[in-house]
Amino acid sequence: MKTMSRRSLLKFGVLGTVSGMFNTTESWGRVVAKPTPQEVEGPFYPVIDQEDKDADMTRVTGQNGLAKGQHIVISGFIKDDNGHPIENARIDIWQANAAGRYNHPKDPNPVPRDPYFQGWAIIRSDKNGQYRFKTVKPGAYPASKTWIRPPHIHFKVFKSGFSELVTQMYFPNEPLNESDLLFNNKNKSEQIAMIAQQAGADDGLMVFSYNIVLSRY
Ligand SMILES: [Fe+2]
C-alpha cells in the first residue's frame, strides 16, 4: 500500500508539474470553467431604440451633462469553457440608474429618470476577449412590496457557435444580495460566478471585474 501511494503521489506530482508548466487548460483543451449561470431577462429590457449605445453610459450624445451617481468601470473577459478568449462577442447591457429607475416606460418605480444616463449599451469583446464599459452603480429598486432587488446589471451575450447567455451581474459586499429571491435561487458557486470583483481603479473610477464563460452549442 505504501509503495502504491508513493507511486500515486509521484504520478500526481509529475502531472502537477507538467500542468503547471504548460497551463493544461490551454494546451490540453480540458474543461476548466463552468458557463456563467443564466438568469431571467426581467421586465425592463429596452423597448425604445436609442442612438447612443456606446461603452460610456455616463453621458448621452447631444446632452450636456453627466449621469448622477457613482461612476464606475466594469471590465472582464468573455471566454469559452476551455478558457480561450472569445473575440467579437456582442454584449448587450442594460441597468437601472443610480436611483433605481430604468429607462423603460413600464418601470413603476416613482424615483426620477436621469436624462444624462444612457441606461443601455451594446459593445463587443476585443481580440483578447476583453470588454470594458463605463457606467454608474445602479440603485436598488423594489420588485414587490416585500422584495428589494440589489444593485445589478443585466447582460445578454451573443456569439455564433455558442448558446446565448442572459444573466445578471451583482456587486460584492451588498447586504441586499443576501435577501434577493433570484440570487438566492443560485447555489454558492453560481453566486460567486455572478458577483463582480473589485479590481482597483481606472482614471480615478472604481473598477469591477466580471468574467463571462459561454457554452458551445
Ligand atoms: Fe433589473
Mean pLDDT over residues 157-177, rounded?
A: 98
pLDDT (0 to 100) of residue 3 = 41
Neighbours of 165 (CB within 10 A): 22
pLDDT (0 to 100) of residue 30 = 60
Residue 6 lies in a domain: no
Question: What spacing in Å lies between the alpha carbon of 47 and ligand 1's midpoint?
Answer: 14
CA–CA distance, 79 with 126 (Å, rounded to integer): 12
Q: Give strand pairing partners of 92.
A: 122, 156
Better-scored residue on pLDDT, 2 or 51? 51
Q: What is the CATH number of the domain that holds 154?
A: 2.60.130.10
Residue 45 lies in a domain: yes
Mean pLDDT over residues 89-101, rounded?
A: 98
Residue 156 lies in a domain: yes
Residue 16 lies in a domain: no
- 199 vs 104, 123, 137, 170, CA distance in Å? 31, 21, 15, 14
pLDDT (0 to 100) of residue 217 = 86
Q: Which domain holds residue 172?
A: 23-214
pLDDT (0 to 100) of residue 8 = 41
Q: Which residues are catalytic?
A: 102, 141, 149, 152, 154
Whether residue 10 has pLDDT greater than 70: no
pLDDT tens for each residue of 14-72: 333 333 333 334 444 566 889 999 999 999 999 999 999 999 999 999 999 999 999 99
Question: What spacing in Å lies between the alpha carbon of 7 and ligand 1's midpoint?
Answer: 54
Question: What spacing in Å lies between the alpha carbon of 17 and ligand 1's midpoint?
Answer: 45
pLDDT (0 to 100) of residue 214 = 98
Residue 15 lies in a domain: no
* Count: domains in the chain: 1
Q: In what order do the strands lie in the sheet with 90-94?
A: 120-124, 90-94, 152-158, 165-170
DSSP secondary structure code for residue 47 in this structure: -
* 3-state SS, residue 77: strand
Residue 139 lies in a domain: yes
pLDDT tens for each residue of 58-92: 999 999 999 999 999 999 999 999 999 999 999 99
Whether residue 148 has pLDDT greater than 70: yes
Residue 42 lies in a domain: yes
Residue 12 lies in a domain: no
Mean pLDDT over residues 168-174, rounded?
A: 98
Question: What spacing in Å lies between the alpha carbon of 4 and ligand 1's midpoint?
Answer: 55
